[in-house]
Amino acid sequence: MKDRLHSSKSKLYWEMILKITIYITSSTLLFTASIVFVKSLFFYINSFTKSSYPTSVPWIKNQYECEYTGRTWSRNECWDKEQSPWF
């Protein structure tokens, strides 16, 4: 009788550990997938609302160097059209 009772407790113990492990693993995967989804959605939406502002680049003083770097030369200044307002 003791052997049967002991064996049943041991089986119950391992089943509980297995259920907890599966629950924790599933929860972790779901949480990670949710974070990745929300971040990718945020960056996707943010790419539509992103705006740029033309900014004069003060360290470039001549037209050749300005156009060589892919910027625009206008009014004797080098303008970069891809700057954020935080520049």
Contact between 36 and 26 (Cβ < 8 Å): no
d(CA 79, CA 40): 32
28 and 6 housed in the same domain: yes
41 and 70 housed in the same domain: no
d(CA 33, CA 43): 15
4 and 36 housed in the same domain: yes
pTM (predicted TM-score): 0.43
* pLDDT tens-digit map of 6-18: 566 777 788 899 9
* pLDDT tens-digit map of 33-63: 999 998 888 777 666 565 667 788 889 999 9
**Which residues span the domain enclosing 62?**
52-82
Q: How far is CA 51 from the centre of its chain?
A: 20
d(CA 47, CA 56): 23
45 and 57 housed in the same domain: no
35 and 9 housed in the same domain: yes
Contact between 47 and 25 (Cβ < 8 Å): no
